[in-house]
Structures are given as C-alpha cells and as structure tokens.
Chain A
Amino acid sequence: MLSLGSDFQKDFFSLFNLPVRFQLNTALLEQHFRVLQMQVHPDKFTHLPESERRVSMQWATRVNEGYQTLRKPIDRARYLLMLHGVDTQEETNTAMPVDFLIRQMEWREGVAEALQAKDSAVLDELNHKLRQDVKSLQMQLEQLLDKQQDYPAAAGIVRKLKFFEKLAEEIDSAFDEIDD
C-alpha cells in the first residue's frame, strides 16, 4: 500500500505549491486555496461514506489552517522560522529596546484617551498609523528572512509585531466599546 498521508504531512508552502519564503503572492495563495478546497471541502463528500467524510474534514481543516497561517504576515514569519528550527520566544524573551517600549506606552495612552473621549476619528487615525508601523516591520522581515537569512533578528521583529497585534486588538475592542 502507498505510504498514507504523505501530502497531509507536507509543510504549508508545499501544500499550496508556493515557494518557501516570506514574500508572498497573495493572489496565488488565494487561488490555490480555492483549488484545494474545491477538492477537499466536506460539502463535496456529504453523500459519500463516512471514511471519506472524515478524511475530508481533516483535510479541509488543514487547508484552512495553512491558508490562515500563510496569509497573515506574523503567522507566516513565525511558521517560516519554525521550519528553520528557530523559536520566536514570544512568551519567554520579553527584552525589548527601551524606545520601543516607550512608544508602545504612548500608543496605549492614545487608545485610552480616544476611548475616554469616545472619539472614533482619533481611533481611526491611530489604526492607520499602526498599520503603517506594522507594514514597515513586515518589510524588514522580508529583508531578514528572504535576503539575509538572519533568523534571530527576524524573531525579534516577530516579537515586536506581537506587541502591535495586541495593540490592534485593543483598538478593536475600543471601537466596540464606543459603539455600545
């Protein structure tokens, strides 16, 4: 019998037939995601035996997971680093440059003030700035991962991005609170 689940064990880049690197052709990822789901989605198997339905759910789950992982830059970077055997140490390594931490505190104050004033225009502005900062970190990631192969430095950027991710969540819930 053929070795089973060989494709299932593939890394996400191979699964989606994309080069193993940070730079991503988003349109191609999307297109391949659709092609794969057309093959594996549970809706294609509802009239088939239970064994095939089970395999389909596992596959569709995996394809969704891969799509999510590759689509989000921070997750993609983390995943790439994992493939290269580098742990991003987001829980353990909390050492951050002082100026970065000060800037983070300013961000948080800004969100808190906007929330208190119930000013969603200010929140919008903060959101916009945040996206710009995140974008520039992502460009650094591309350099470090794809050109310089400097994985420890890339892991540092991922840790920074994690801060911004939390900040984005805070801005999001501030929007919700103003809405309520």
Chain B
Amino acid sequence: MALLQISEPGLSAAPHQHRLAVGIDLGTTNSLVATVRNGISLVLNNESGHALLPSVVRYAADASVQVGDAAQALQSEDPVNTIVSVKRFMGRGLADVGDVSNLPYRFVEAPSFATGQTHGMLQLRTVGGVKSPVEVSAEILNVLRVRAEQSLGGDLVGVVITVPAYFDDAQRQATKDAAKLAGLNVLRLLNEPTAAAIAYGLDNASEGIYAVYDLGGGTFDISILKLSKGVFEVLATNGDSALGGDDFDHRIYCWVLEKNNLSALGAHDTRLLLTRARAAKEELTDYAETRITAILSNGEVIDTVLTQQDFYDMSKNLVARSMQPIRRALRDAELAVDEIKGVVMVGGSTRMPQVQRAVAEFFKQDPLTNLDPDKVVALGAAIQANVLAGNRNEEDWLLLDVSPLSLGIEIMGGLTEKIIPRNSTIPTARAQEFTTYKDGQTAMSVHVVQGERELVSDCRSLARFELRGIPPMVAGAARIRVTYQIDADGLLSVSAREQSSGLQSHIVVKPSYGLSDDEVARMLQDSTLHARDDMQSRALREQQVEAQQLLDAVANALEQDGATLLNEEARASIHAAMDVVRNALQGSEQQAIKRAVAKLNEATLPFAQARMDKSVSRALTGQNISQLDN
C-alpha cells in the first residue's frame, strides 16, 4: 500500500516549484504530520523514527515546555503540569467538561466575552503559568511544524489541520487560533472522517455511498459520503464530541477503584491508574485477559485481572452511544443501512474488538480496516493540503463538506429559530431581516447558537452580535439585513446592512467560548514559541512572499484574460496597483507592503468576478443541450 510509506527525517527538499504543505492530525491522544512527496502521501517521522507525537504538554517552573514522549513519560510524576487530551478542552467551558474531580488539573474559569460571567473557555493553572487550551495545542502544532520544516527543508506555505466533523464553531475557531499561535498558515480546517475518506477513496478509486466511523481518543464522528467521479460529497454527519477512547480508559479506571475499594485518589495516583487502564484496554484487543498492576503513593499495591468479557460489559453503553448518531446521520441522508456500500474505520479506538463487532452488526457487513486507523486522517489531510497549496495533481477531484450542527438565533421566550439547518453543504449563507421596536433605536443584539434543540439553554451559545450605527428612524421602519455566512472551514461570520440607507452596521462580536482577536494577539506576543525566531523578520518575509505570489497571480490572470475581459483603462489601473506593490517590495517596511497588497486585491476584484463569470458560463455551455428537454 503506497500510502503508508514513511520517510526518513531530513530528506532532501522537493523541487523548487513544489510548494511545501502538510496535513496535521491534531488528535486527542496523538498528533501526526504528513505530506505529499512525488505524488505519494506519507507520514513524517521524528529523529527517532516515530510518527506519532503524543498530544501531551508539560510546563516546568523555569518556563520550559516539553511536548510528546518526554512529557508523557512524566505524566504520572507531574500530573498537574502535564496536560493530556487537551483537545477535549478546546472551545469548552468548565461546565462542559463534566466531572472534573477525576482530572488532575487546576482549572481556572475564564470570563466569557458574551456574558461577562465565568462561562468562557476554561484555562489550566500550571507552574509555568495559566494556560489556555489554545496555547497548549499550539505547543503540539509547533513541534510538528518544526518537524515538517526540517524534514522538507523549507518554510511551509500552509497546512490543513483536521478537526472532528462534529466540532462546533468555538472548537474550530480555537483550533485555528492555536495554528496561528504556532506560526502556521491554515489553508483549511478539514473534517477528520472526510480526510480519511480522501485517503481511502483516492487509493481505492471507490464509487458509491460510504460511512466513515471515526472513534478517536476523545471524539466520535460518523460521516456518510457519496463518492462519485472524483467528487467526495458529504451527505450527512453526526457524532459526539465528548466520546472517545478516554472514556473507555475511564470505565476501566472506575472499575479498578471499585474492585479495590479505593476512593478520592490524588492527582499522581489518578494519572498512574488511568495510564494503566489505557494499557489494559490496548492489551484486551489481542488477549482474553490482562493484569493491571500499580503501586500507589501510599504503598498500596494494586494487582487485578481484567477479562475481555468484563471490559465489554462495562463499556457496552459507550459503544451503544455511538450507534445513536449513526441512526441520525442515516435519517438525515435519507438512506437505509443496506444502501451503504462500505464502512471505513478510523481512529485508534476502532481497534477495540467490541467496537468492530458492533459496527459490523449495525451495518450488516465487515468494516474496512485496511488503512492504519491512526494515520489515515493525516494522510488524507496531506493530500488535501497539497492540492490547496496549488500543487496541481493529475486528477481533478473535489470535496464538498457540510456543517454538522444547525445554526439558530434566540427569539422570544428563550426559544431558537433555525437559520441554517445541519448538514448544509458549505460554504453557505442565509440572510434575515430585522427591524427596530423603538423609535430612534440605533443598536440591537443578536444571540447566535448552535444545536438542534428548541430551547436556547439546550443549545450551545456561539456569540452575541451587537449591531450598532443603525440610522435612527421610527420603530419598525429600519430594515436590517443580517447575513450569516459559514465558510469552507465551517466557521461563522456575520455581516449586517440597513437596507433603506444602505449603511453597513458595525458589528461587535462577543464569542461565548472563544478568544478575542486581541487575546490571540497578546498570546502571540507572549508566546515563547517564537523566542528563537525573530518574529518580525519572519512576518516581513511572509509578507514579501505573499506580495510576490500576488503579483505573479495577477500577471498570470492578465495574460490569460486581460485582453478579452478588460478595457484599456481597467488594465491600466491594475498595472498601476501592481507597480505600487513592486515599489513597496523594494523597501523592507512590512506595513507598506501589506497596504499595497490590499489595494491590489481591491483593484482586481471586478476582474476576478469577470473571470469567474467566464469560467462558469463556459462550464455548462456545450454540455448536454440535447438533454435539456428530457
């Protein structure tokens, strides 16, 4: 299987015109980075030949940070400062995490921008300072960035980072913020099951309807995809962003406590037993029973035998919990079980025999496991990154994904009104008109939520948008058109315009669980990640590269379509804007280059529209005129 070739670190760089891009699977338990080299997707190893980077970060008192195996080795010794499974905290408040008493961390409740109360994204107090999950994730991403840059021999043009399909807006935004902190240019956030489908589908040239069952360390996704003539179309997705291998470990952990009459263990013992529980779980994939041994800090010796059957019994409910989202996804896709041609298994947790059996029973067929469930997501992400970076691949294929959760707003009585239904193909947008209810009203507030339930309190608060600058009019006269746009990353943005005056309303966004732009900027400033790098020179370098690429792209577009789509005057104004960029590139002032780039982008917008018009009308002409009347 060509896809699973593993490279040595430090191999010579790809040819110059090849733009370096990688796919990153930022997992709950392990993270990986992969790239496409000579048309083959491969996972990049570290110096010791390991592909999997444990998603574990340890903060020390001297402000140093350890990531991966080194941190993992110390997780029982220093549980409070060693953060594992941080993905479960991304874009989450303390209340979302549920029972925190079993977690060895010192949580800090952060204020929410939306409510001003303590319901924002949680933080963790370590000896190295208070850390946001975004910062912890950035440390993991940074290690993978360095690994990739060393292995590929150059700066990365961009990355594709995978997220669980069922991640909500706050979790996606947190992931993107983490990438920004790690100095990565995110080409796309890609849903994990979809990434797996790419790796699987392109490798097998499959056609038909497939289900991807993705049970990771902390999240569960089910996606139903239609593969047809190079198009991967997600029909429906569902899941549980708080169900994964960790929960199976936890069941074993609780069982050990019960069996040995233990209660209220300290952080060290908790982490120790959780580690033993995970090892036991992995053992039980291949053996009928396993022995769990540990010496607790008070000297008490734990020595218990766990059988496969006991493990199956205690985890039955967890496996059952994953079946419910499958039924929902099938209902949404209006499909019956027998219409599913194949079921792809993704995520390390799908190695558990009871999971495989339950999936086989549900779909009445054996699931496909011929790609390594730990690597398939990163491999797919790398294939997508390669295409998005502009390295054309021979065959033209396209990915059409959906938004996993319905988007709604709060209306009277604490109820929600759905605006964009779940499983809408992205990008998507919906507009709504509001009016004022008081004379002279100049502001209004819109509460946006994500979820399927009728009550706002049962949905997830995304953000509150305050519209300001509505021209004062009598009540009911203003017509404010609010547009909700979900982009190809599954991220929401909102814009508003008063219709009669045409005035653009000013929008203040207060994300409920996210970080404000200012906060991300501050973290970027504070970040030790860039201590070695001169941040400013890096920013200048990136700006220069971007400007040069823009010039090349515009020149290219002018050569193709300039003569036919533009008159002389329009061409001249674009050329003038290009000259401004060229001049700015002579100097080394980053802001000047940035301004010139923005100007050129603006100047070329009508041209871009005309080019798109042309390619659209060309696409369907000549096609099946004869079929028009059938």
Q: Which B residues, 143 to 187, have Cβ-Cβ distances below 8 Å to chain A? A: 157-158, 187
- A56: nearest chain-B partner, CB-CB: B612
* C-alpha gap A18/B628 in the complex (Å): 6
A48 to B621, alpha carbons, bound, how many Å? 25
Q: Check A42/B400 contact, CB under 8 A, given A7-B613, A47-B388, A56-B612.
A: no
User: Which residues 4-19 in B have Cβ within 8 Å of A in the complex?
Assistant: 19
Give every chain A residue within 8 A of B388 (Cβ-Cβ): 43, 46-47
B610 contact from A2, A35, A175, Cβ within 8 A: A2
Q: Provided the pairs A5-B609, A51-B604 are in contact, do residues A34 and B429 lie with their beta carbons within 8 angstroms?
A: no
Q: Which residues of B contact A37 (CB under 8 A)?
A: 231, 398, 400
Is A140 part of the binding interface, using a Cβ–Cβ cutoff of 8 Å? no
A42 touches B427 (CB 8 A): yes
Q: When the two chains form their complex, are residues B428 and A1 in contact, meaning their CB atoms are under 8 A apart?
A: no
Chain B residues, Cβ within 8 Å of A51: 601-602, 604-605, 607-608
> Are A61 and B428 within 8 A (Cβ)?
yes
Question: Chain B residues with Cβ under 8 A from A180's Cβ?
Answer: 324
The tally of CB-CB contacts under 8 A between chains A and B is 152
Given contacts A41-B398, A42-B487, contact A34 B616 (CB under 8 A): no
User: Does B553 contact A176, Cβ atoms closer than 8 Å?
Assistant: no
Query: Could you tell me if B427 and A4 are in contact, using CB atoms closer than 8 angstroms?
Result: no
| The one of A17, A35, A49, A59 that contacts B612, using a Cβ cutoff of 8 Å | A59
Within 178-228 of B, Cβ neighbours of A (below 8 Å) are at 187-188, 228
CA distance A123 to B565 in the complex (A): 57
Judge if A55 is at the interface, Cβ distance under 8 Å: yes
In the complex, are the beta carbons of B616 and A39 less than 8 A apart?
A: yes
Instruction: Assess A52 versus B429: contact at CB under 8 Å? Given A1-B567, A37-B400.
Output: no
Min CB–CB distance B558 → chain A (angstroms): 12
Q: How far apart sit A119 and B40, CA to CA, in the bound complex (Å)? A: 51
Q: Given A2, A38, A42, A49, which contacts B608 in the complex, CB threshold below 8 Å? A: A49
Inside 8 A of B624's CB, which chain A residues have their CB? Answer: 17, 28
- Interface flag for A68 (CB, 8 Å): yes
Cα of A56 to Cα of B619 in the assembled complex, Å: 15
A162 within 8 Å of B by Cβ? no
- Chain A residue at smallest Cβ distance from B418: A169
Assembled-state Cα–Cα distance A41/B384 (Å):
14
Question: A4-52: which residues lie under 8 A (CB-CB) from chain B?
Answer: 4-8, 15-19, 25, 28, 32, 34-44, 46-52
B324 — nearest CB in chain A belongs to which residue? A179
A residues less than 8 Å from B390 (CB atoms): 46-48
Q: Is the CB of A36 within 8 A of B424?
A: no
Q: B519 at the A/B interface (Cβ < 8 Å)?
A: no
Partner of B617, one of A7, A50, A56: A7
Tell me if A57 is interfacial: C-beta within 8 Å of chain B: yes
Q: Which residues of B contact A7 (CB under 8 A)?
A: 613, 616-617
**A46 in contact with B620 (CB, 8 Å):** no
Least CB distance from B19 to A in Å reads 7
Supposing A51-B602, A61-B428 touch, asked if A34 and B231 sit within 8 A by C-beta, the answer is: yes
Residues of A within 8 A of B324 (CB): 179-180
Residue-wise interface mask of B (610-630) relative to A, using a CB-CB cutoff of 8 A (1 in contact, 0 not)? 111101110111011001111
User: Measured between alpha carbons, how far is A18 from B611 in the docked complex, in Å?
Assistant: 23
Of B158, B428, B566, B628, which contacts A64 at CB under 8 A?
A: B428
B425 CB contact (under 8 Å) in A42, A44, A64: A64
B570, A8: Cβ atoms under 8 Å? Answer: no
* In the complex, chain B residues whose CB is within 8 Å of the CB of A44: 398
A4 to B566: give the CA distance in the assembly, Å.
Answer: 11
A-B contact pairs, 25 of them (CB 8 A): A2-B610, A7-B613, A17-B621, A18-B628, A28-B630, A32-B623, A34-B229, A37-B398, A38-B396, A40-B612, A40-B616, A42-B427, A43-B388, A43-B398, A46-B158, A46-B187, A47-B157, A49-B550, A51-B607, A55-B612, A64-B426, A68-B424, A172-B331, A175-B327, A179-B324
Interface positions of A (Cβ within 8 A of B)? 1-2, 4-8, 15-19, 25, 28, 32, 34-44, 46-52, 54-57, 59-61, 64-65, 67-68, 172-173, 175-176, 179-180
The 5 lowest CB-CB distance pairs between A and B, nearest first, are A47-B390, A46-B388, A51-B608, A42-B488, A17-B620
B interface residue numbers (CB < 8 A to A): 19, 157-158, 187-188, 228-229, 231, 324, 327-328, 331, 384, 387-390, 396, 398-400, 424-429, 452, 485, 487-488, 549-550, 553-554, 557, 565-567, 569-570, 600-602, 604-613, 615-617, 619-621, 623-624, 627-630
